[in-house]
Amino acid sequence: MPLFRRPDGRLARDVPPYRRIMPYLMRGRTESTVYFDQEVDLTRTLPFIERWNATHERRITVFHVFLWAAVQTIAERPRLNRFVSGGRIYERDGIWVSFSAKKALSDDAPIVVLKRRFEPDRGFEGALSELFADVDRGRGEEKSGVDKELSIVLRMPGLALRLLLWLQRRLDASNLLPGSFIRSDPMYASLFIANLGSLKIDAAYHHLYEYGNIPIFAALGRVKEVLVVDSAGQVARRTVCDVRYSFDERVEDGLYCARALDLLRRMVEDPSWDQG
């Protein structure tokens, strides 16, 4: 039983013994990572995006559909919204998604990492307005809170910085890290999405970070055409994108996760959940 409560979650009570022991057998996210990939058929998704963009000022992409489908999936499969800290498994308070974006489409443009809490019943359009506001701020000239903090700590000598990060990890494992620190840090989230397709490159398997407590990393690849054999045995052309996941298996078993990711894929392929 932990001595202190976490500001970002509560101890999961329905975890079977074989899963409770896992964080002690596999102490880090790196050695606990399993990999999974999907090919998402965009036959119905792209027309939905075209219709949306024809009637709205701000344009959306596959990334926006995927993000909202991920939020809905986590709401439907809540055991995916757990994390490991200090050898214990916690249920996260709220659905938090972190994602990265280039400030400009050039090799030298910096990357900004953003984080937002999403409410599943907020609606797609409402969530988009908040998301676009975040992206606009992130791409602006003003430094984010994280950038300001990093500009300070990076002035420290290397040894002092290592000691500071060691202390941060110990406080986090003991549930003593302040909530204000966790809420602003994009490495404390339900899911991290990297939209590699926006850079016109294929999806890649990304490592999970030992820092923070994100249990799932999703990388979206570029939209492309492939040849497939349809149900009638005929060769057909399909527009697809690949998604590659890295998942901390200490959080939940592979079957639960695979079914959740299959639900996510089906929601992206058929965005009939839209009410806008």
Does a structural domain hold residue 234? no
Q: Is the dihedral of CA 201, 203, 209, 213 positive or negative?
A: positive
| pLDDT above 90 for 241 | yes
Is the Cα torsion angle 115, 120, 124, 125 positive or negative in sign? negative
Distance from first CA to last CA of the chain, Å, rounded?
45
Does residue 198 lie in a domain region?
A: yes
- Measured CA distances, 276 to 47, 122, 271, 273 (Å): 15, 12, 11, 9
In angstroms, the CA 252 to CA 119 distance is 22
pLDDT of residue 198: 84
**Range 29-44 average pLDDT:** 94
In a domain, 46, yes or no: yes
Mean pLDDT lowest among 64-68, 82-86, 120-124: 120-124
Instruction: Quick: pLDDT tens for 94-120.
Output: 999 999 876 555 555 667 788 999 999
Q: Find where tokens 């994280």 sit.
A: 146
Residue 213 in any domain: the answer is yes
State both tokens at 151. Answer: 């500009």
pLDDT over 70 percentage in the chain: 89
For the cut 70, the answer to whether the pLDDT of residue 164 exceeds it is yes
What is the pLDDT at residue 109? Answer: 61
- Conformational region of residue 218, where left means phi above 0, alpha means psi within -120 to 50, and beta covers everything else: beta
- Identify the pLDDT of residue 276: 46
Which neighbouring-strand residues pair with 192? 98, 217
Instruction: Let me know if residue 179 belongs to a domain.
Output: yes
**CATH number, position 41:** 3.30.559.10
Task: Name the least confident of 137-141, 143-147, 178-182, 184-188.
Answer: 143-147
What local confidence, expressed as pLDDT, does residue 116 receive?
92
Q: Which domain holds residue 256?
A: 9-224+239-269
**Are the C-beta atoms of residues 123 and 276 closer than 8 Å to each other?**
yes
Evaluate whether 212 touches 9 at the Cβ level (below 8 Å).
Answer: no
The domain total for the chain is 1
Cα 220 off chain centre by? 11
Res 219 pLDDT > 80: yes
- Residue environment code for 116-143, b if the CB has 16+ CB neighbours within 10 A, otherwise e: bebeeeeebeebbeebeeebeebeeeee
3 falls within a domain: no
Whether the pLDDT of residue 45 is over 90: the answer is yes
Rounded mean pLDDT of the chain? 88
Q: What is the mean pLDDT of residues 126-147?
A: 75
> How many CB atoms sit inside 10 A of residue 148's CB?
10
Q: Is 80 exceeded by the pLDDT of residue 132?
A: yes
Query: Is the confidence at residue 124, as pLDDT, over 50?
Result: yes
Rg (CA), the chain: 20
Query: Across 103-139, where does the E strand assignment appear?
Result: 111-118
Average confidence (pLDDT) over 123-128: 88
- pLDDT for 274 equals 63
Q: Is the pLDDT of residue 62 over 80?
A: yes
The secondary structure of 34-98 as a DSSP string is: EEEEEEEE-TTHHHHHHHHHHH-SS---HHHHHHHHHHHHHHHSGGGSEEEETTEEEEESSEEEE
Residue 276 within any structural domain of the chain: no
Q: Please tell me whether residue 13 adopts helix, strand or coil conformation.
A: coil
